[in-house]
Structure 1
Amino acid sequence: MTHSAPPTEGRTPAGGTGPDDDRAARPGLLMGRLLGVPIYVSPSWFLVAVLVTVMFEGQVHDVVTRPLSYLVAFTYAVLLYGSVFVHELSHAVTARAFGLPVRSVTLHILGGETSIEREAPTPGREFLIAFAGPLVNLVLAGLGLLLHATLPLPDVALLLIEALTFANLLVGVFNLLPGLPLDGGRLVRAIVWKATGRSRNGAIFAGWVGRAVAIGCLIAGAYLATYNTGEGGGIGWLALLWSALVASFIWVGATQAIRAERVRDRIPLLSARRLARRATLVTADVPLAEAIRRAQQDHAGAIVIADHDGKPLGLVNEKAVTATPEHRRPWISAGDLSRGIDDHLTLPADITGEDLIEALRRAPATEYLLVEPDGRVYGVLAVTDVDRAFAGV
């Protein structure tokens, strides 16, 4: 159970490449919206629901006969992820209370994730957003213990409450482990951030602790697999597989957090002018082969469609040019492979750093036209060149 922010985390900041990116990036099935936040369920959740149902049915069978026992076991799977959902929703509500936009809440094979658009502006708010999730689980576990101790309950209800109490206690404590991407890692990040005055220091430290936590999870799983013998041997090996999955999730998340900070270090150094490709201007009716020849003659890396007065009208898509066989290029006009230029695809040549990244996020595309303050075309900025600036981080 994690909450992720900001958008640069785990990938280069250039963003998507077209208008369909949002659909392609959907993390699962859209189940609806709550408080304006889209709720997704990953297909992997259904696999976990089946596994939980099958595994829990063995306990339910002692209380309820089949096939009703499978229904009760499935009810537990739904309630379990209901607890996870409340955990994630608490992150979202707390973030919204601090004015941070929440992109989505997703339930998946390892629990859930809350995607927050921006990181918290202060370590105190970061701490509260991170702590909200585990706190809800611990409160639910406490309520479960209270119900168990005070109310006379039917056997089925008692079984469900006991299971949910244990699950919430486990989820709450597990998420407090002190390493990214877990909530406990966010708490460590906030504490180090407060102590040093730099969020980067907190993220790097919590990321390395997260890697240590991942190794610890793997060692714990190996210990269970080695020392659980006899009837418990199968459970031990299942614990090893599950711990390996959890360890890989934590390791990847921690590594992405460290990498994200290194990416941030490079953002202020980004300059559209330095990354720009020289552009050759041609009219839309010029054959593609001739446009390529002119670009090669000008040592240019991009082709811009312009009218007869030199006013830019469109950008020729590099991928479309590459995909066009050479024998067809004389018979296709450059304008056929171009995309119109709107205001969002025209950027000042001097744009740099965070302003550049924000402009690319605001209007995802593959190429952008760069212009001088007087309106003259300076060149073309390709997203692949921006991504390449972050390669190897």
Structure 2
Amino acid sequence: MRATFTLGRIAGIGIGVNWSVLLVFALIASGLAGGRLPEAHPDRAWPVYALAGLATAVVFFASLLAHELAHAIVARRHGIAVDDIVLWLLGGATRMRTEAPDPRAELRVAGAGPLVSLVLGAAFALLTWLLGAVGAAALLVEATAWLAAINLVLAVFNSIPAAPLDGGRLLRAYLWWRGGDRLRATEGATTAGRAFGWVLVVAGLWQFLWTAWFGGLWLALVGWFLVVAAGQEGRQARVRELVAGVAVRDTMTPGPVTVPDRLTVEDLLRDPAQAARHTAFPVTGEDPERPVGLVTVEGASRVPEPERPHTTVGAVMRPLSRTRVARPDEALADLLPRLEPGAEHRVLVLDEGRIAGIVSPSDVNRTVRTLAARPRADRPADG
């Protein structure tokens, strides 16, 4: 899940938000302002309900962020590299670059999120009681009660032993500890995730068809997401297991064609054959061996034709600070979480700052196909 925009960094961890969060935010805020709050405490002015609904929705997403931050912080303490956190339609996702080193670390990382949600739920419940005891505003008490309930629901739901939920990772940690095989443990957790997802799909559709309850469609959507996500997690685990021991240098396209930052966009696009062969080019500065960014043919093509003779590649490139990079000796399995579709997400392979190669999803697919065709005994050993 890609971030549409970023909010900054917390404890050195990037925080991103997908556009779909706006939809959920609007549903929560409007549901509270137009439903629960006026039903529980009528006869207030509508701006009061609207303000209370917006504030409660903001605090809820802060709680959700705290849940994900708990995963990320505990992961880093166990030596697991964390790319970022992305909040989206159905919650949040902490993108980790590497796997947990052992079942105990997996257990702690997976359990941190639900534990924080449980603590927050208890804290909001206590706050609700205190506010009620001192006679605080009724809408404030109602809002904290809702936050207590939703955090407790979040803790319980995420603890269900089905991937990709946190409970699925807890199940994987247990199966890994019991059997000693991480891949088989992942397959067990993803099988449970798909089964649970299909149960939610069937239950949601049944509720909608027989009771006309539109919440059933939301339940079915959540179930379908679990089915798809569990399948993706299982495939990713199998790929990571397959490429264990493979270095980035064994997958990259070495000696990629580079272009200088002073080159005009017109000159870059002048050779249609080259533009067709390569969708992205490392961009170099004064030193032709040291990249300063990445330019895509698609991005250069967006420059209006009259401006192309006067626009340089350096003006339209993605700077190196925003470009994914890797080392030749880095494990390919650790690079996989950073690979995304699109030419702008190509990974530049740098050896002491000098361009050594470039990695695209097609390069990884080629390596995976080659390894899959080999007998197991011929595959690289992990480590």
Q: Please report the TM-score for the alignment, with normalisation by the length of structure 2.
A: 0.66
Q: CA deviation at 1:146?
A: 2.6
Q: 1:163-207: CA deviations, max 9, x gaps?
A: 111111111111011111110000000000000112112111000
Q: Secondary structure at the match of 1:67?
A: helix
Unaligned runs of 5+ in 2: 256-272, 279-288, 291-295, 298-324, 340-344, 351-356, 373-383
Q: In the alignment, what sits opposite 1:333?
A: none
Q: In the alignment, what sits opposite 1:204?
A: 187
Q: Secondary structure at the match of 1:262?
A: helix
Q: In the alignment, what sits opposite 2:235?
A: 259
State the distance in 2 between where 1:32 and 1:381 align. 27
2:91 to 96, 100, 111: 111
Query: Could you say if the C-alpha distance between residues 278 and 210 of structure 1 is closer, same or farther in structure 2, counting changes exceeding 3 Å?
Result: closer
Q: CA deviation at 1:240?
A: 2.0
State the distance in 1 between where 2:248 and 2:8 align. 39
Q: In the alignment, what sits opposite 2:46?
A: 66
After TM superposition, the structure 1 stretch with the greater mean CA deviation from structure 2, 145-154 or 36-45, is 145-154
State the distance in 2 between where 1:171 and 1:225 align. 23
CA contact (8 A) 1:130 1:186 kept: yes
Structure 1 stretches of at least 4 aligned residues deviating more than 4 Å after TM superposition: 268-279, 344-347, 354-362, 364-369, 379-383
Q: Using CA pairs under 8 Å that are at least 6 residues apart, name the structure with larger relative contact order, 1 or 2.
A: 1
Q: CA deviation at 1:213?
A: 1.1
The residue correspondences of 1:156-167 to structure 2 (distance < 5 A) are: 156-167=139-150
> What amino acid does structure 2 have at the position aligned with 1:193?
W
State the distance in 2 between where 1:60 and 1:277 align. 59
The residue correspondences of 1:1-393 to structure 2 (distance < 5 A) are: 27-57=3-33, 58-62=35-39, 63=41, 64-150=44-130, 151-152=133-134, 153-228=136-211, 233=212, 236=213, 238-268=214-244, 355=331, 384-390=362-368
Q: CA deviation at 1:74?
A: 1.2
State the distance in 2 between where 1:92 and 1:387 align. 29
State the distance in 2 between where 1:149 and 1:84 align. 22
Query: Could you say if the C-alpha distance between residues 146 and 247 of structure 1 is closer, same or farther in structure 2, counting changes exceeding 3 Å?
Result: same
Which entry has the higher C-alpha Rg, 1 or 2? 1
Q: Secondary structure at the match of 2:108?
A: helix
Alignment size in residue pairs: 306
State the distance in 1 between where 2:68 and 2:29 align. 22
Q: CA RMSD in A?
A: 4.4
Q: Secondary structure at the match of 2:80?
A: coil
Query: Could you say if the C-alpha distance between residues 224 and 97 of structure 1 is closer, same or farther in structure 2, counting changes exceeding 3 Å?
Result: same
Unaligned runs of 5+ in 1: 1-24, 280-291, 293-300, 303-312, 321-343, 370-378
Q: Please report the TM-score for the alignment, with normalisation by the length of structure 1.
A: 0.65
Report sequence identity in percent: 32
Q: 1:55-104: CA deviations, max 9, x gaps?
A: 11122224332122111111111111111111111111211222322211
